[in-house]
Amino acid sequence: MKDLFDLTGKIALVTGASRGIGESIARLLASRGAHVIVSSRKVDACQAVADSIVADGGKASAFPCHVGEMEQIAAIFEHIKSEFGQIDILVNNAAANPYYGHILDTDLAAFEKTVDVNIRGYFFMSTAAGKMMREQGGGVILNTASVNGVVAGDKQGIYSITKAAVISMTKSFAKECGPLNIRVNALLPGLTDTKFASALTNNDKVLNMALKAIPLGRVADPDEMAGTVLYLVSDASSYTTGATIIVDGGMLA
């Protein structure tokens, strides 16, 4: 019987992959046979993850990209075209959340940084990958959104707004790219133990309130997000597109 989770021969780009959920995704995809391009803003951090994957017997390389910078998006896809000639999987995971506070006090710099990375970055990463996928006959795009895109997080206004946009973006790309054999889905993580979420997990009062709302009664480990991503980028989900899968320990249940 065919292994539906086999990614042998696939080229996968994972952004925000130097730590946290992105790193877990990169490691799992590599363990299933994909060559993973580990990407984030800092090349040294990317290279460390790529080297570790290779040391474990996987295939990986590193290429830095700040998805909030259009020229860097162009550069990474030029690299992929010249080095690999294909891209089968794009995981848009890099995100920005520079402001934690009342929505009325959101300043322009925080607004622009969050929008540039979480909306513009995801959009143009997806169009660049999608054009390559269109030429080669198909591919898969996975967006990391958030449960905050469904129920806005307190003191996380602009971040929640952008993640709601990612959910809408996922559906729009799925609808228009389905006829091109390009599937587009989204992962919606709940509270996860990452540096990115440290403003919440390191605040005992906020953390205790959050845990009361989570039926499983705990924060997720980043590795617990990667399995859903593997499903969505593999042949196991070959008839799934436009889906938004919530992985939140039951919080929104």
If you write DSSP's letter for every residue of the chain in order, what string do you get?
A: ---TT--TT-EEEEES-SSHHHHHHHHHHHHTTPEEEEE-S-HHHHHHHHHHHHHTT-EEEE----TT-HHHHHHHHHHHHHHTS---EEEE--------B-GGG--HHHHHHHHIIIIIIHHHHHHHHHHHHHHHT-EEEEEE--GGGTSPPTTBHHHHHHHHHHHHHHHHHHHHHGGGTEEEEEEEE-SB-SGGGHHHHT-HHHHHHHHHT-TT-SPBPTHHHHHHHHHHHSGGGTT--S-EEEESTTTT-
| Active site (annotated) includes residue 122 | no
First-to-last alpha carbon distance for the chain, in angstroms, is 35
Which member of 99, 159, 231, 239 is catalytic? 159
Residues 175/176/177/183 CA torsion (nearest 10 deg): -10
Size of the chain in residues: 253
Residue pair 158/99 in contact by the 8 Å Cβ criterion: yes
Phi-psi category of 181—alpha, beta or left, where left has phi over 0 and alpha has psi -120 to 50? left
Residues with catalytic annotation? 159
